[in-house]
Every structure is written in structure tokens, then in C-alpha cells.
């Protein structure tokens, strides 16, 4: 079975904040606001505590300025090996357990 590369990333904001002596999410909100990025307390908490799926470039640039880092310091690419899914066209023999579970054509009979 072939292996497929699964791409991901590691979000290092919390670690970089700690190196700057910031251990609370409330420390970050006013620094972001000074740079024109106004976020609610809940949004700042999610930004720090969770890995974001989307991030505006303005927010990314503000974080890099606050933490004196580059985007590569904040976002670390990670490659994981993942198994490819088997397909019916993948060639090879179909296991007996799969063959036994295939549906049979229905028979319609008239009741007399």
C-alpha cells in the first residue's frame, strides 16, 4: 500500500509568548490593539490556546512584531506519513470478507 504525505503545522505562539515573559492571553490583547488588530478576549484566547485554521496577514505581522520573530518561528511545517486508502481499482485480489459482504441483486416476486 502506498504512503501519502500528510501536511500539517505546529503553532508555536504560546511557546514564543513564554520566551518573552507573557504567560497570560490578556497580555497579548493590548499589544495587538496597539498595532491595529482589535480582538475580543475570547478570540485572543483561541489564538493562543488553539491551532488556528485561518489567520489574517495583519494578525500574523502584528504577532511577529510583538514577539520579534518571523512567520517561520510561529508556524512550523510538519510532515506525517499517512496510509493511502485502498481503492477497488488498486489491483490485487479482493479479500474474502469483502466479497462475502457484497449485496445481492433483489428479486421481486408477485404474490398470487
Tell me the domain boundaries of the chain: 3-83
pTM value is 0.66
Over residues 50-87, the pLDDT tens digits come to 999 999 999 999 999 999 999 999 999 998 766 656 55
Instruction: Please state which architecture CATH assigns to domain 3-83.
Output: Orthogonal Bundle (1.10)
Q: Give CA separation, 27 vs 3, 35, 70, 83, 85, in Å.
A: 43, 14, 20, 42, 45
SS3 77: strand
Report the alpha-carbon distance of residue 30 to residue 81 in Å, rounded. 40
| Closest CA relative to residue 2, chosen from 86, 111, 89 | 86
Report the alpha-carbon distance of residue 32 to residue 44 in Å, rounded. 9
Amino acid at each position: 500500500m502506498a504512503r501519502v504525505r500528510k501536511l500539517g503545522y505546529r503553532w508555536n505562539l504560546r511557546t514564543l509568548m513564554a520566551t518573552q515573559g507573557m504567560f497570560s492571553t490578556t497580555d497579548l490583547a493590548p499589544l495587538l490593539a496597539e498595532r491595529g488588530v482589535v480582538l475580543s478576549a475570547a478570540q485572543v484566547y483561541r489564538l493562543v490556546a488553539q491551532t488556528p485554521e485561518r489567520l489574517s496577514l495583519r494578525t500574523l505581522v502584528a504577532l511577529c512584531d510583538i514577539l520579534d520573530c518571523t512567520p517561520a518561528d510561529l508556524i512550523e511545517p510538519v510532515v506525517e506519513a499517512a496510509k493511502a486508502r485502498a481503492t477497488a481499482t488498486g489491483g490485487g485480489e479482493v479479500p474474502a470478507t469483502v466479497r462475502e459482504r457484497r449485496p445481492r441483486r433483489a428479486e421481486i416476486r408477485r404474490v398470487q
